[in-house]
Amino acid sequence: MAPLQKKFEIKENKKLNETTFKIVFNAPEIASIAKAGQFVNILCENRTLRRPISICETEPDKGLVKIVFDVRGEGTAWLSKQKSGKKIDILGPLGNGFPCEKGNRALLIGGGLGVPPLLETTKFFGKKADAILGFKCKENLILLENFKQICENTYLTSDDGSCGTRGLVTDVMQDLIKTKDYDIVYACGPEAMLKSVAKICSENKLACFVSLEERMGCGIGACLVCACAVKVNGEVDYKHVCKDGPVFNAREVAW
Ligand SMILES: Cc1cc2nc3c(=O)[nH]c(=O)nc-3n(C[C@H](O)[C@H](O)[C@H](O)COP(=O)(O)OP(=O)(O)OC[C@H]3O[C@@H](n4cnc5c(N)ncnc54)[C@H](O)[C@@H]3O)c2cc1C
Ligand code: FES
């Protein structure tokens, strides 16, 4: 379905930790068509380029679209200061989401700001999903309770051991896949994490889809800023993260 561009009202803006914010938009047209893993492109006042942010969660019955983002630069700093009632120009939903099939047992792996884009996918699988969430430290921890309420099991790791198990999400993953029978793995997070997850899945013959992040310009496949290398018939080719992704089959990515 074609994305739409419209001003949508902020219903709530909540600070989740020192640098991370959750904004809930009253955006029924997007909520009714968005798929898990898609993103929206947000126009931040006085900036030409829109900022791509993944859809964290939708509530189509209430017409709500939720995003969770970190303040990185000017655009996200501006967005973090906008209050309920403010109307924001949004283009979306954009990109291809995670392919989800009922009946599958899924393992979801999120690292840092890669955690929010997995929440809607987790809702699709409910108790047929386990999640591994990894953060640098407890100060960065977000959405743990949301995942715990939905998944059968939620595992937490941190780099410094200040929350959950000390170590990497892939350490927990290696242990889990020895004892549990997953059909598919979904991952979003830093590229190094995605590359390791993809390698483990390939070695264990597990289907795996990853959500990639690239700097973006237009967000709709018109400017080539977001090119990413993929393998086509053994040769390296390029695709657009905004239009062909952000979700890719991990086997397709030229890591
Ligand atoms: C598909 C996709 C989904 C994303 N989802 C989330 C999310 O759910 N939560 C979250 O916190 N962040 C997410 N990001 C990253 C987010 O887009 C950047 O942090 C944001 O654009 C930074 O804008 P800025 O103005 O604050 O920073 P600046 O550095 O001032 O931005 C300057 C320019 O670079 C672009 N840019 C900078 N960093 C990135 C980046 N990492 N990816 C794409 N463009 C970038 C901006 O859009 C802008 O055009 C996502 C990125 C992509 C591509
Ligand atoms: S951002 Fe312009 S082609 Fe992807």
Domain borders along the chain are 4-94, 106-211, 214-255
CATH 2.30.30 fits 214-255, yes or no: no
Which residue, 222, 218, 250, is CA-closest to 99? 250
Whole-structure pTM value:
0.95
Pocket test for ligand 1, best of 35, 215, 226 (most atoms within 8 A of CB): 215
- Please give all residues whose beta carbon lies within 6 A of any atom in ligand 1, as ranges: 39, 49, 51-54, 68-70, 72-76, 113, 116-117, 213-216, 246
What would the pLDDT profile of 191-204 be if each residue is shown by its tens digit?
999 999 999 999 99
Name residues whose C-beta falls within 8 Å of residue 115's C-beta, 6 or more positions apart in sequence.
Answer: 68, 133, 135, 142, 143, 147, 188, 189
Class of the CATH-defined domain 106-211: alpha beta
Give the confidence band of 205 by pLDDT, cuts at 50, 70, 90.
Answer: very high
Please give the backbone phi and psi of residue 5, each rounded to the nearest 5 degrees, phi first: -120, 125
Taking residue 13's Cβ as centre, other Cβ atoms within 10 Å add up to: 17
CA-nearest residue for atom 21, ligand 1, is 51
Ligand 2 contacts (CB < 6 A) are 216-219, 221-226, 240, 242
pLDDT number for residue 233: 85
Of the candidates 89, 56, 51, the residue with the CA atom closest to the CA atom of residue 73:
51
Is 214-255 in the same CATH topology as 4-94? no
Three-class secondary structure of residue 186 per DSSP: strand
Q: At 182, list the tokens.
A: 């997953």
* Per-chain mean pLDDT for the chain: 95
Atom number in ligand 2 closest to CA 224: 3
Angle subtended by helix axes 191-203 and 169-179, to nearest 10 = 20
Closest CA to 9 of 87, 84, 79, 64: 87
Distance from C-alpha of 178 to C-alpha of 20, rounded to nearest angstrom = 34
**CATH number of the domain located at residue range(s) 4-94 in this protein:** 2.40.30.10
